Structure 1
Amino acid sequence: MGATLRALRAFVLLAGFHLLGLVLLVLLGAADWAAYRWAPAGWALRTYVISFLLAVPVVRGMALLRTPRDEGTAGLPVTEEEEPRLWAAVRELAEQVGTRAPDEIRLTSDMNAAVTEDARFLGLLGGTRRLYLGLPLVAGLSEAPLRAVLAHELGHYGNSDTRLSGITERSRVHVARTIDRFEEKSDLTIAKERARQERKSAKRIARGKAPKEVDTTGVGFTYRTMARIYTAYGRFSMRATQSTARRQEIAADLAAARIAGRDATASALRALPALGNAHEFYLSSYATLGVEFGMLPPRGEVFGGVRRLLDARAGELAGMQDELPAEPASPYDSHPPTAERVAAVEALPDDGRTAAGDRPAFALFSSPETVLCRVEDATLAPEALQMRRLDWPDLVHESMTAMYVRDTEPLLSAVAGLPRSAGGAGPVGAPAPDDEVDAPAPADRAGALHAQAETFLDAVDAGTVWELVDRLPKSEQAAAATGRAAREFARSSLRRELARLVTTVLTADGRARWQLSWSADARLRLPEGCAERLPAALDAAIAERPDTEPLRKLLATA
């Protein structure tokens, strides 16, 4: 399909959105007229109010005349003076594609690359072009595959994809915002009805009557129905443009293969799904490991640290590149399945160019470490920039220790109600009411944890621990168990809580340490001999005749 026909189709879909709005407004007006003619006054008034409330989101959606530029996109613009090699490579590739180079290059924190164009007059005239390049993607590729990625993106300019996508994007934004407004209205209506019923139940309780169950079934039905109508139109629009969008991706892949080489393009396509999965794993398991506790990796490592993971798991990633997704990410995905794209590229004749032995893609940057720090400053939230920065080994140890302390809080709260051991310490950070004290120092925290562990072991010896364990959170299966099965669940829960408490005490006082590993999960290094003695000590503590002495010896401070 040529550019003219694509432009016409995109315009028709955008006009269809406004036509749908007009049809809905006509139907609402017809309902008001019918109510005026035949309905009782009370029902007619109610119909007028409902019609007005439904018409407002429709009219607001139709009145949205333009799509905000770069909505939600964060990045660091870099000039030609700052990154001359990167700009030279982009300009060279644009010339080979036969298109105008982008006006801006913005570096982002995504495992992705993309291009946009602020086209005017429904795409008839070009506008400002922007190339977005994710530094995690740069970290995962060598220079030849990165050039293939850039050539692919620039190929979208050469095929006028970015000009015409503005009309389609405008239609998508209109539909999405209108759906959001109806869903917000529905949620607000449900919340108001729930609050009304809860107030009514409270009054019944105050009068000594049984409260009625809150029921919001059917509330907000008209708003949800309108949202479903626009959702259906949005799906129709995406389906209508999907085949063309996928052909555009294949065309851009072939342009990249022609310019950057068949092998480099295929290598980039094979790498992208694996790199995407690795990046998500890195963010959740490494970069944000300590965010809950106000900690981040060193500057430049929040997005740059993925290089360490990719190097350590190179063999695993290589295996993942052989298992390509054969299906699109969703039925409405604008990209064909990766396996289909790779097959199209690898079916091309061998051009003699190879991606083997290539230098890292970061060679295109003047100072990778500097630019990684600058992208952090440009994309991280202000509160994240204020977090404490730790080297990777310390970050892993401090974060895992804090997690174990957090996970022991239910147990420590239960221990607070037990008779105290000889140490006499209360729960961590548990001041008297109305006292305002600073957070306990590490030594004080370790001492308090040790005292609470002793108190817990006293309860094990006295046989009173089972009531405490019964108050801890349970799985559905454990909560439903009775008799001997319930006892076994309780015994298993006791062992787990004891192991967690011992680990927390040993890490808090510095005798155990969590060790960073880029190729596997973090591992706890226990004091010499502790790893061998701990399982038997735990088993002795949960036996029919408990013996806590082995655990007490393990916890004793050297």
Structure 2
Amino acid sequence: MGATLRAARAFVLLSGFYLLGLLLLAALGGIDWAAWVWAPGAARLKIFFVTVVLAIPVVQGLFMLRTPRDGEPGGLPVTEADEPRLWATVRELAERIGTRAPDEIRLTADVNAAVSEDARLLGLIGGRRRMYIGLPLMSGLDEAGLRAVLAHELGHYSNADTRLSALTARGRVQVARMIEMFHAKADAKVAQERARQEQKAEKRLAKGRTAKEIDTAGAGITYRTMAKIYTAYGKLYLRATLSGARRQELAADLAAAGIAGRDATARALRAIPALDAAHDFYLSSYATLGTEFGLLPARGEVFGGVRHLLAARAEELAGLREELPQEPASPYDSHPPMAERVARIEALPDDGRSAEGTGPALALLTAPDTALAAVEDVSLTPEARRMRRLAWPDLVHESMSARVSQGTEELRAAAGGAALPALLDAIDAGRAWEIAGRLPRSEEASAATGRAAREFARPGLRRGLSAMVTEELLRSGRARWQLSWTGPATLDLPDGTPEQLTAALDAATADLPDTAPLRALLAPLAAR
């Protein structure tokens, strides 16, 4: 389907939104006419009131002709002087694919690449073009894979996909606005009815009478009915536009394979879901490990540190590349399932280009570390940029140590703020289970007595004691958290200490507690 026909289809679908509004207004007008002719006076006024109330949001929706303007484009803009090799690659690919190169290239912090265009006249006239390239994506691709991704995005330009995306998106926004508006009004009606019934119930209770059960099932039903009508049209709109969007993605994949090669395109498509999962894991387990304590990795490593994880877990990622999603990310995802996309590309004839461009994609940048640091500066919030920066080993040690300290808070509070020596004295004085009884516990644990109560309390007491002893070992330098890119951080202790600590904690939390082993373990620290 050509750009003109696709523009016409998008326009018809968008017009359908307004036609639906006019039909609803006509239906409401018909109800008013019927009420005027046949309904009695009191019912007629009630019907008029309901139809006017329903007509107001419909009319408001008809005048929502403009979608909100997007904010400033994200990412870091780079000129040809900044990144000559990257720009040369993009221009070469654009020329080979037969389209105009983007006017801007912006580096982002996403595992993604994308293009946009500020089109005019329903997408019939092109505008300023922007290409967005995620540095975490580049971190996980070779040069040939990046060329395939960029060729795919440029394929959207050559197929006029970007020129029509704004028009298509407008219809989605309009329908979503109407549905949200009707649901909001329905919720307001429910809240109003609930408040009325609760007030009535309070009056009945004050008079010593039985209050009726609150029932708001019928409140806002007319608004919810209107929302269902627009929801049905919205589903039709999405089905009509998403089928075209998915065809566009498959066409862009074929264009990429023709320019960058079959194997490079398939390799890049296989890598993207694995890189996305790895990046999410990296951000949650490494980059943001210390944010609650005001700590971040060294500058350039917040988004650049994923390279260490990818290198250390290469085998694991290789397995993920074989487990491709068989379904779209959601029913409304504009991309077909990745398994289908890869199968289509791998079914193409061998073009003999499997060995091309195997160097790292980041090598296309003049100074990758500088670029990663600069993208941080435009992507992180001001609060994040003010955090203390640490090298990875120190970041892991300080963050995990702070978490250990957090783990001591409940037991410290239960012991009245006592430090470890005072707590051990209290345990020796026979107050262990009294203190343990003040720790947070479940309803079942609260109801338990005797030995059962001790069994419920024992894990919490042991966990708190372990944290307090570990905190002392960390503070003295006898223990240190070690960074690992292949698994969780590990606590490095002197030989024999883990076994000593386990036995000492068992003794201190026994039915008849004995703190002597713990004191022996801590004695060298006291001497220091």
After TM superposition, is the score higher than 0.5? yes
Counterpart among 529, 554, 557 of residue 496 in structure 2: 529
Q: Provide the rounded CA distance (Å) in 1 between the counterparts of 2:146 and 2:85.
A: 13
Q: Provide the rounded CA distance (Å) in 1 between the counterparts of 2:74 and 2:214.
A: 43
Encode CA deviations 1:88-117: one digit per residue, 9 max, x unaligned: 111110111111111111211110011112
> Please, which moves more after superposition, 333-342 or 234-243?
234-243
Q: What secondary structure does 2:419 align onto?
A: helix
Question: How far did residue 122 of structure 1 move?
Answer: 1.0
Q: Provide the rounded CA distance (Å) in 2 between the counterparts of 1:39 and 1:415.
A: 76
Q: Provide the rounded CA distance (Å) in 1 between the counterparts of 2:410 and 2:44.
A: 55
1:88 to 1:452, Cα distance in 2 relative to 1, 3 A: same
Q: Which residue of 2 aligns with 1:236?
A: 236
Indicate conservation of the 8 Å contact 1:117/1:128, yes or no.
yes
> Please, which moves more after superposition, 542-551 or 276-285?
542-551
> Please, which moves more after superposition, 66-75 or 39-48?
39-48
Q: Which residue of 2 aligns with 1:152?
A: 152
Q: Which residue of 2 aligns with 1:436?
A: none
Q: What secondary structure does 1:321 align onto?
A: helix
Q: Provide the rounded CA distance (Å) in 2 between the counterparts of 1:205 and 1:9.
A: 61
Q: Provide the rounded CA distance (Å) in 1 between the counterparts of 2:420 and 2:125.
A: 72
Q: Provide the rounded CA distance (Å) in 1 between the counterparts of 2:493 and 2:198.
A: 52
Residue 246 of structure 1 pairs with residue 213 of structure 2: no
% same residue: 66
Q: Provide the rounded CA distance (Å) in 2 between the counterparts of 1:501 and 1:490.
A: 17
Counterpart among 503, 507, 531 of residue 474 in structure 2: 507
1:308 to 1:170, Cα distance in 2 relative to 1, 3 A: same
Q: Provide the rounded CA distance (Å) in 1 between the counterparts of 2:310 and 2:402.
A: 27
Residue 551 of structure 1 pairs with residue 518 of structure 2: yes
Question: How far did residue 220 of structure 1 move?
Answer: 5.3
Question: How far did residue 456 of structure 1 move?
Answer: 3.6
Indicate conservation of the 8 Å contact 1:267/1:355, yes or no.
no
Query: What does residue range 236-385 of structure 1 map to in structure 2 within 5 Å?
Result: 236-355=236-355, 358-385=358-385
Q: Provide the rounded CA distance (Å) in 2 between the counterparts of 1:244 and 1:209.
A: 63
1:197 to 1:167, Cα distance in 2 relative to 1, 3 A: same
Q: Which amino acid aligns with 2:296?
A: L
Q: Which residue of 2 aligns with 1:110?
A: 110
Question: How far did residue 412 of structure 1 move?
Answer: 2.7
1:186 to 1:384, Cα distance in 2 relative to 1, 3 A: farther
Q: Which residue of 2 aligns with 1:430?
A: none
> Please, which moves more after superposition, 228-237 or 185-194?
185-194
Indicate conservation of the 8 Å contact 1:261/1:351, yes or no.
yes
The Cα RMSD (Å) is: 3.4
Q: Which amino acid aligns with 2:175?
A: V
Question: How far did residue 257 of structure 1 move?
Answer: 0.7
1:28 to 1:512, Cα distance in 2 relative to 1, 3 A: farther
Q: What secondary structure does 2:121 align onto?
A: coil
Q: What secondary structure does 2:354 align onto?
A: coil
Counterpart among 454, 461, 468 of residue 494 in structure 1: 461
1:62 to 1:357, Cα distance in 2 relative to 1, 3 A: same
Q: Which residue of 2 aligns with 1:446?
A: none
Q: TM-score, normalised by structure 2?
A: 0.87
Encode CA deviations 1:10-54: one digit per residue, 9 max, x unaligned: 122211222223334445555666777847769956973x66665
Q: What secondary structure does 1:524 align onto?
A: strand
Q: What secondary structure does 2:322 align onto?
A: coil
Q: Which runs of no fewer than 5 residues in structure 2 stay unpaired?
A: none
Q: Provide the rounded CA distance (Å) in 1 between the counterparts of 2:343 and 2:404.
A: 48
1:82 to 1:220, Cα distance in 2 relative to 1, 3 A: farther
Q: Which residue of 2 aligns with 1:75?
A: 75
- Equivalenced residue count is 524
Residue 127 of structure 1 pairs with residue 94 of structure 2: no
Q: Which residue of 2 aligns with 1:91?
A: 91
Q: Which amino acid aligns with 1:10?
A: A
> Please, which moves more after superposition, 201-210 or 259-268?
201-210
1:408 to 1:47, Cα distance in 2 relative to 1, 3 A: farther
Indicate conservation of the 8 Å contact 2:407/2:464, yes or no.
no
> Please, which moves more after superposition, 206-215 or 249-258?
206-215
> Please, which moves more after superposition, 215-224 or 275-284?
215-224
1:552 to 1:146, Cα distance in 2 relative to 1, 3 A: same
Q: Provide the rounded CA distance (Å) in 1 between the counterparts of 2:521 and 2:225.
A: 64
> Please, which moves more after superposition, 475-484 or 154-163?
475-484
1:164 to 1:278, Cα distance in 2 relative to 1, 3 A: same
Indicate conservation of the 8 Å contact 1:111/1:276, yes or no.
yes
Indicate conservation of the 8 Å contact 1:145/1:355, yes or no.
no
1:389 to 1:196, Cα distance in 2 relative to 1, 3 A: farther
Q: What secondary structure does 1:127 align onto?
A: coil
Q: Which residue of 1 aligns with 2:420?
A: 453
Question: How far did residue 230 of structure 1 move?
Answer: 3.0
Indicate conservation of the 8 Å contact 2:432/2:513, yes or no.
no
Question: How far did residue 406 of structure 1 move?
Answer: 2.9
1:9 to 1:316, Cα distance in 2 relative to 1, 3 A: same
Residue 520 of structure 1 pairs with residue 492 of structure 2: no
Indicate conservation of the 8 Å contact 1:265/1:345, yes or no.
yes
Question: How far did residue 79 of structure 1 move?
Answer: 1.7
Q: TM-score, normalised by structure 1?
A: 0.83
